[in-house]
């Protein structure tokens, strides 16, 4: 199956600093990548969708200046949490979808990144 | 947007028992996927099943798209089946495609 790798798996940062999370599709070209946020014991909430070479589309209520998303290549998307605060602590998960059948059917997920802001 | 409802929210089984998890969705969808989230947070793809029936070992899934629901069957459950099971539906085309998750079913299988 398709492999999506997310890094780092765990990060602790100080309040006010920025953190970058990488999401890579290892064996397919990801034309679309999705970023989700998950609070403890809750479902995944879509934050934004990014298409390679285009600006990300953010869901309502997600601050685009706070959560910077870049999808500069067909195998890499990054999420940068700027000026992080304790309320940004959460589990962030990326997902990737390819172009053309069958890669444009299923979405494949990274391992997730647990961000703790102290 | 589309609403995705999963039931039951919690399920406790004895090892060896069978179970059925349900996913209802409020509108037509392009795709439907079932996932298992393990204790470390990794989402494991179980089925891509926009319609019809599929089986993989002790797991099987059926989606009746015209009636807007999908079922996940787990037979002869094992303790390793414990975790959260999510249903997610995909809709929209091209750059407007979205995958929306239900709230999940927390399955606990006791030895």
pLDDT digits (tens, 9 = 90+) for B32-68: 999 999 888 999 999 999 999 999 999 999 999 999 9
Asked if B99's CB is within 8 angstroms of A34's CB, the reply is: yes
Asked if A108's CB is within 8 angstroms of B45's CB, the reply is: yes
Nearest Cβ partner of B95 from A46, A51, A106? Answer: A51
Asked if B43's CB is within 8 angstroms of A46's CB, the reply is: no
Indicate if the pLDDT at residue B12 is higher than 90. Answer: yes
User: How high is the pLDDT of residue A102?
Assistant: 66
Using an 8 Å Cβ cutoff, are B78 and A17 in contact?
Answer: no
Task: Name the DSSP class of B67.
Answer: G
Chain A positions in Cβ-Cβ contact with residue B48 (cut-off 8 Å) = 105-106
Distances from the Cα of A37 to the Cαs of A6, A18, A62, A89, B93, in angstroms?
A: 14, 17, 11, 10, 23
In angstroms, rounded to a whole number, what is the distance separating the alpha carbons of residues B25 and B31? 11
Distances from the Cα of A20 to the Cαs of A34, A51, A78, A82, in angstroms?
A: 15, 18, 7, 9
In angstroms, rounded to a whole number, what is the distance separating the alpha carbons of residues A74 and A68? 18
Indicate if the pLDDT at residue A98 is higher than 70. Answer: yes
Task: Name the DSSP class of A87.
Answer: G
Nearest Cβ partner of B41 from A54, A97, A112? Answer: A112
Q: What would the mean pLDDT of A97-115 be, rounded to a whole number?
A: 83
Asked if A91's CB is within 8 angstroms of B99's CB, the reply is: no
pLDDT digits (tens, 9 = 90+) for A83-92: 999 999 999 9
User: How high is the pLDDT of residue B110?
Assistant: 96
In angstroms, rounded to a whole number, what is the distance separating the alpha carbons of residues A52 and A50? 7
Nearest Cβ partner of B101 from A43, A54, A91? Answer: A43
pLDDT digits (tens, 9 = 90+) for B74-102: 999 999 999 999 999 998 877 778 889 99
Asked if A43's CB is within 8 angstroms of B42's CB, the reply is: no
């Amino acid at each position: 199956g398709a492999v999506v790798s997310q890094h780092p798996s765990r990060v602790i940062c100080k309040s006010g600093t920025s953190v970058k999370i990488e999401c890579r599709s290892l064996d397919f070209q990801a034309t679309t990548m999705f970023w989700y946020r998950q609070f403890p014991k809750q479902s995944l909430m879509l934050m934004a969708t990014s298409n390679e070479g285009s600006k990300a589309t953010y869901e309502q209520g997600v601050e685009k200046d706070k959560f910077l998303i870049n999808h500069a290549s067909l195998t890499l998307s990054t999420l940068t949490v700027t000026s992080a605060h304790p309320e940004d602590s959460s589990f962030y998960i990326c997902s990737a979808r390819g172009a053309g059948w069958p890669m444009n059917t299923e979405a494949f997920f990274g391992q997730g990144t647990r961000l703790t802001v102290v | 947007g589309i609403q995705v409802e999963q039931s039951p929210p919690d399920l406790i089984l004895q090892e060896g028992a069978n179970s059925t998890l349900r996913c209802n969705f409020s509108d037509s969808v392009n795709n439907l996927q079932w996932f298992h989230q393990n204790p470390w947070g990794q989402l494991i793809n179980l089925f891509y099943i926009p319609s019809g029936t599929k089986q993989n070992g002790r797991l099987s899934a059926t989606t009746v798209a015209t009636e807007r629901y999908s079922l996940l069957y787990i037979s002869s459950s094992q303790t390793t089946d414990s975790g959260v099971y999510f249903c997610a539906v995909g809709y929209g085309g091209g750059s407007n495609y979205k995958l929306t998750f239900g709230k999940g079913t927390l399955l606990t299988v006791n030895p």
